[in-house]
Amino acid sequence: MFKKYDAYKDSGVEWLGPLPNSWELLSNKYIFKLKKDLVGKKSKDYELLSLTLNGVIKRDMENPEGKFPAEFDTYQKVNVGDFIFCHFDVEETPRTVGLSTFNGMITGAYTVYEVDKNFFDSKFLYYFYLNLDVGKRLKPLYKGLRNTIGKDVFGNFETFIPTKDEQNEIVKFLDQKTSEIDQAIALKEQQISLLNERKQIVIQKAVTQGLNPNVPMKDSGVEWIGQIPEHWDCKPSRYVFRAVKRFKRDGTEIKFSVTQKWGVIPTDEMKESSTQAESFNGFQICLEDDLVLNKYKAHLGVFWRAPSRGLITGNYTVFEPLKDISSKYFELLYHTSVYIDIFRTIVYGIVEGMMPLYNNDFYDMQSIVPPFNEQLDIVKFVENEQRKFSSIENVYLSQIEKLKEYKITLINDAVTGKIKVI
CA distance 206 to 370: 11
Do 359 and 216 share a structural domain? yes
Note whether 326 and 358 are within 8 A (CB): no
Residue 185 CB burial class (10 angstroms; 0-12, 13-18, ≥19): middle
pLDDT at 299: 76
pLDDT at residue 422 above 90?
Answer: no
Of 418, 332, 416, 414, which Cα lies nearest the Cα of 377? 332
pLDDT at residue 87 above 90?
Answer: yes
- Mean pLDDT value across residues 187-210: 97
Do 39 and 54 share a structural domain? yes
Is 6 within the bounds of a domain? Answer: no
Cα 344 to chain centroid, rounded: 24
pLDDT at 256: 83
CA distance 405 to 411: 10
Is 247 within the bounds of a domain? Answer: yes
Of all residues in the chain, the percent with pLDDT exceeding 70 is 94
pLDDT confidence band for 376 (50 / 70 / 90): very high
Is 5 within the bounds of a domain? Answer: no
pLDDT at residue 278 above 50?
Answer: no
53 CB-side CA count, 13 A: 4
Note whether 102 and 23 are within 8 A (CB): no
- Mean pLDDT value across residues 193-210: 96
Q: Which residue has the higher pLDDT, 11 or 126?
A: 126
CA distance 12 to 282: 63
pLDDT at residue 268 above 90?
Answer: no
pLDDT at 351: 55
Do 151 and 123 share a structural domain? yes
- Mean pLDDT value across residues 203-212: 96
Do 136 and 217 share a structural domain? no
Do 377 and 305 share a structural domain? no
pLDDT mean across residues, the chain: 90
- Give the residue from 161, 195, 224 where a domain finishes: 161
Dump the DSSP string for 245-299: ------S-PEEEEEETTTEEEETTTS--GGG--S--TT-EEE-TTPEEEETTSGG
Please state whether 216 falls in left (phi above 0), alpha (psi between -120 and 50) or beta. Answer: beta
Is 10 within the bounds of a domain? Answer: no
Which of the listed ranges 63-77, 284-298, 319-333 does the model predict with the highest average pLDDT?
319-333
The strands making up 111-115's β-sheet, listed across from edge to edge, are 32-35, 111-115, 83-85, 97-99
Count how many residues are written for the chain: 422
Do 167 and 155 share a structural domain? no
pLDDT confidence band for 200 (50 / 70 / 90): very high
CATH of residue 153's domain is 3.90.220.20
Q: Which residue has the higher pLDDT, 292 or 278?
A: 292
pLDDT in tens, 117-160: 999 999 999 999 999 999 888 888 889 888 899 999 999 999 99
165 CB-side CA count, 13 A: 2
pLDDT at 269: 59
Do 199 and 298 share a structural domain? no
CA distance 255 to 285: 9
- Mean pLDDT value across residues 10-20: 84
Do 376 and 398 share a structural domain? yes
Domains: count for the chain:
3
Torsion of Cα atoms, 289 then 290 then 294 then 299, to 10°? 70
- Give the residue from 369, 390, 412 where a domain finishes: 369
Do 132 and 33 share a structural domain? yes
pLDDT in tens, 304-347: 999 999 888 888 899 999 999 999 999 999 999 999 999 888 88
Cα 103 to chain centroid, rounded: 28
pLDDT at residue 273 above 60?
Answer: no
pLDDT confidence band for 65 (50 / 70 / 90): low
pLDDT at 17: 83
CA distances 416 to 10, 124, 137, 174, 419, Å, are 12, 11, 13, 13, 8
pLDDT in tens, 218-257: 999 999 999 999 999 999 999 999 999 998 888 888 888 7
Do 191 and 250 share a structural domain? no
Is 303 within the bounds of a domain? Answer: yes
Note whether 8 and 21 are within 8 A (CB): yes
Q: How many CB atoms lie within 10 A of CB 8?
A: 15
Strand partners, 311: 255, 285
Do 119 and 73 share a structural domain? yes
Domain that residue 315 falls in:
211-369
CA distances 263 to 15, 383, 389, Å, are 43, 15, 18
DSSP state of 399: H
CA distance 133 to 123: 15
Do 237 and 202 share a structural domain? no
CA distance 272 to 294: 13
CB neighbours of 223 closer than 8 A, spacing ≥ 6? Answer: none
Of 17, 57, 393, which Cα lies nearest the Cα of 195? 393
Is 15 within the bounds of a domain? Answer: no
Q: Which residue has the higher pLDDT, 109 or 355?
A: 109
